[in-house]
Structure 1
Amino acid sequence: MEDIIEKYSGNPSLFFLLISWLIAGGLQMIYHGLLFSRIWWQKPKNSPRSSLPKLSLIVAIHNEEKNIPELLEHLQKQKYPEDWELLFVDDRSTDRSRKLLLEQKKINSHLNIISINETPAGKSPKKYAIQQGILHAQHNHMVFTDADCRPASEDWLFLMASKFQKNIQFVLGYSPYNFHKGFLNLFIRFETLLSGISYLSLAMWGNPYMGVGRNLAYQKGFFLDHGGFSNHDQILSGDDDLLVNEMANKHNTDWEIHPAAFVYSKPKESWRAFIHQKTRHLSAGVKYRFTDRLLLGCWVISKVFFWLLLPLNLWHFGLSINLLAFGLLVVAVISINIKLSAERLREKVSIWSIPILDLLYVFYYVLTGLRTLFIKQTQWNHHQERHFQQKH
């Protein structure tokens, strides 16, 4: 390696190319070998089975008649020993969602319904719906999910609520996507896995920077006392990650990754819908704390540099044994960490497919990043066909 560096140190362009690639590879090993590895070696925490709080389970919906019956069927099976309510917030549904809920309310003592007829100007419709649910919640401890989600077990509420001990205000859960055949589903699950590895590992290190609204819990009093969504209620997305990024810290946040506490969600069925969804999620990231943007930015940028500069370096410098060994070492660290993390999170992914998926993740991230520069989302529900419009 020294002979290559010395040989091309007189050529600024090639020298910069080589050094950039080496730094990028080194950063990837630091992230995947240290920062993001905790998710698979962290020992499970044993939560006490006493002092469980009363719960409000809040689900904001918009035109979800296809999902409501199955969701209710799963939620009614929850075995939670304390009082809990199931609160649906119907945001201007035009289908049979409200009718289905009213029919279920007659036979379900847990079920309560709030209807929203109009969203105030300048506010995110989904955040407004969630906030109305919070204001009307009967209990201080709240759990959140979406209409297209399904708890992995009847112990989901118990496992999430048992984390509310001492000063814990936020509980972060994991929400994978259902397994289906096909490459799109594989990539969606891989992207979700990478996201879970990053936010859960960093939470374990004491830096909770985001959560997912499909499986999230926090306290009503804390939410209201700290201004709720007021600092970003005009942004369509961010009812989960921006809230956690703003209010969560190492002292008030816990996590639950027992497989029985997972909440499975329905994946997108087309690349277009998936890119639309992820563009919306990515657009909220610019509002993260500066330190989190820096930390995550270095991870993504180093990933981009490592993969895109790999063929350029091999072309310029030849098949050097040292360069090949370094590249293979980086790929091995990335692949082993993701594979071990996938096993902990019960995700099905072959270790041999990880390098290919990680490379494709680079192109996906660049594409969605560029997309956020030119479009903005105008609807929050995933059933809407026209999600975006050109930015003025």
Structure 2
Amino acid sequence: MKIIPELQDSIEFYIFWIFAGLVFIQLLYSIFFFGRLAFWKNKTVSSDFPPVSIVIAARNESDNLYQNLPKILEQNYPAPFEVIVVNNQSIDDSKYLLDALSRQYSNLVITEVERSKHLAPSKKFPLTMGIKKASYEHLVFTDADCAPASNLWLRKIVEKFSDKKQIVLGYGPYNKRRGFLNKIIRFDTTMIAVNYFSMALNRIPYMGVGRNMAYTKSAFQSTSGFKSHYSLISGDDDLFIQEAARKNNYTIQPDPESFQYSEAKDSWKSFVLQKSRHYTTSPHYKVFKKMMLGIYPASLILMLIFFILLAFQSGWWIHALAGFGFVTLIKWWLLGVCFKKLKSPGFIALLPLTDLVYVLVLPFFYYSALQKNSSKWK
């Protein structure tokens, strides 16, 4: 059995060292990105709690508003806060419900957007209306179908603000339900969070989730709002972040008490449409961020291919197994710590397999998004 390839073995020589290079890339990425999140210490940035405006854009959400809005309005927060609900062209009972709740809660502010065929089917217009209506500089965003993990949600998000930190990226997991689809969606959501948290910690912020993020009016005005990508259905939680996050003015909040939970899609069709819509903004990413986001899945797929090629070369399977096994164990460990931090321990046991399947499926969603755009908000 050969210890290292010999120069005269031309094919095996190149296969081995390409494979070794891919193993190195995977190892480097895992340590510098997943490892950064895995061992990041979550500390309170500020003990000052400014007055806050919570903005919720809602469309035909009467049931969700009835169930979740009181949990937002009754947050345990030591300073004044208002909840602005922008009722965007709803045709259900949202208006009547909000009117009733406004008589019960003095901190509820309602803005009505009348139906119009000229309005784009996205959240950007109602969000902009809510921001203009806001009385305070510090803004927190969530959705009508989200329920805070605790009554300390607002406190946990806002405590990450400071003079230097104007953007806070939170996490919005889905509720655990029975079924394989629910598991797929929850894994996908956790993996996305691991990626955007890790990227942000390495000073490459590229997205947050609109159902749980915060920023100041100043940060919003610094980009002229959503002006540069207003024509796109999506972009309020990724393209905006890429423009507004600069000079380390952002931070993350992975504290479990700061999570916002919602219900996952209940059909494969709706899930695929949702994923495809999310990818419609990716062609507008800068080349560097596209490259950084593509390094991990591309190198993992290539590493698998070269691992298989080496495994079928007589005398080389031990090299392939050693390299592939080593990097898999390191990733298993680091990703496992990340998943545990985000309260998803149930996925840790099968992480090596699910991680591999995940990157093989991702191109399907990406190219599906390029083929068609979903014009349906929510």
How does the TM-score come out when normalised to structure 2? Answer: 0.93
1:245 aligns with 2:242: yes
Offset of residue 231 of structure 1: 0.7
Shifted more, 338-347 versus 201-210: the winner is: 201-210
Residues 315-330 of structure 1 correspond to what in structure 2 (within 5 A)? 315-316=312-313, 320-330=317-327
The percentage of counterpart residues that share the same residue type is 33
Q: Please say if residues 46 and 161 of structure 2, whose CA atoms lie closer than 8 Å, have aligned partners that are also in contact.
A: no
1:105 aligns with 2:99: no
1:46 aligns with 2:57: no
Q: Please say if residues 20 and 305 of structure 1, whose CA atoms lie closer than 8 Å, have aligned partners that are also in contact.
A: no
Q: Please say if residues 125 and 236 of structure 1, whose CA atoms lie closer than 8 Å, have aligned partners that are also in contact.
A: yes
How many pairs were matched up?
378
* In 2: Cα distance, 1:65 partner to 1:239 partner: 23
Q: Which residue of 2 aligns with 1:208?
A: 205
Task: Provide closer, same or farther for how the CA distance between residues 318 and 91 of structure 1 changes in structure 2, counting only shifts above 3 A.
Answer: farther
Task: Provide closer, same or farther for how the CA distance between residues 88 and 302 of structure 1 changes in structure 2, counting only shifts above 3 A.
Answer: same
The secondary structure found in structure 2 opposite 1:67 is helix
* In 2: Cα distance, 1:352 partner to 1:282 partner: 29
Which letter does structure 2 place at the counterpart of 1:247?
A: A
Residues 37-76 of structure 1 correspond to what in structure 2 (within 5 A)? 37-50=35-48, 52-76=49-73
Which letter does structure 2 place at the counterpart of 1:273?
A: S
1:142 aligns with 2:176: no
1:357 aligns with 2:354: yes
The secondary structure found in structure 2 opposite 1:6 is coil
Q: Which residue of 1 aligns with 2:166?
A: 169
Superposed CA RMSD in Å reads 2.2
1:128 aligns with 2:99: no
Q: Map Cα deviations across residues 77-97 of structure 1 (whole Å, 9 max, x no partner).
A: 301111111111111112222
Residues 298-377 of structure 1 correspond to what in structure 2 (within 5 A)? 298-316=295-313, 320-377=317-374
Q: Please say if residues 21 and 309 of structure 1, whose CA atoms lie closer than 8 Å, have aligned partners that are also in contact.
A: yes
* In 2: Cα distance, 1:269 partner to 1:308 partner: 34
* In 1: Cα distance, 2:117 partner to 2:35 partner: 44
Task: Provide closer, same or farther for how the CA distance between residues 225 and 323 of structure 1 changes in structure 2, counting only shifts above 3 A.
Answer: closer
1:198 aligns with 2:195: yes
Q: Please say if residues 200 and 252 of structure 2, whose CA atoms lie closer than 8 Å, have aligned partners that are also in contact.
A: yes
* In 2: Cα distance, 1:236 partner to 1:2 partner: 56
Which letter does structure 2 place at the counterpart of 1:298?
A: I
The secondary structure found in structure 2 opposite 1:37 is helix
* In 2: Cα distance, 1:273 partner to 1:30 partner: 36
Offset of residue 340 of structure 1: 0.6
Q: Please say if residues 187 and 357 of structure 1, whose CA atoms lie closer than 8 Å, have aligned partners that are also in contact.
A: no
Q: Which residue of 2 aligns with 1:29?
A: 27
Q: Map Cα deviations across residues 218-271 of structure 1 (whole Å, 9 max, x no partner).
A: 011331242110111111111111111111024311221211111112111222
Q: Please say if residues 194 and 338 of structure 2, whose CA atoms lie closer than 8 Å, have aligned partners that are also in contact.
A: yes
* In 1: Cα distance, 2:247 partner to 2:183 partner: 33
* In 2: Cα distance, 1:2 partner to 1:128 partner: 64
Q: Map Cα deviations across residues 358-387 of structure 1 (whole Å, 9 max, x no partner).
A: 122023202102212211111112xxxxxx
Shifted more, 41-50 versus 1-10: the winner is: 1-10
Residues 89-100 of structure 1 correspond to what in structure 2 (within 5 A)? 89-100=86-97
Of residues 69, 80, 85, the one that matches 2:82 is 85
How does the TM-score come out when normalised to structure 1? Answer: 0.89
* In 2: Cα distance, 1:146 partner to 1:243 partner: 17
